[in-house]
Amino acid sequence: MAAFRLTGGRRVADAGAHDDLTARMRAWAGEHRAARESALAAARERLTAQGCAVREGG
């Protein structure tokens, strides 16, 4: 749970909570990118094995 402090009547996330969330989101993004690339490679191999011509881009 993020820690908050009052600043000028507004709730502002503490820097530590913000930094933790940033680090976790960056880690997730890296894992997601790797999983997506792996899934694309598997699909490319599967389609090529079925005789499809796979091309990059649109």
pLDDT of residue 9: 57
Residue-range domain boundaries for the chain: 24-50
pTM over 0.75: no
pLDDT of residue 47: 96
**Residue 1, pLDDT above cutoff 60:** no
Are the C-beta atoms of 24 and 17 separated by less than 8 Å?
A: no
Report DSSP state, residue 28. H
d(CA 24, CA 17): 11
Over the stretch 11-55, which tens digit does the pLDDT of each residue have? 666 777 888 899 999 999 999 999 999 999 999 999 999 999 999
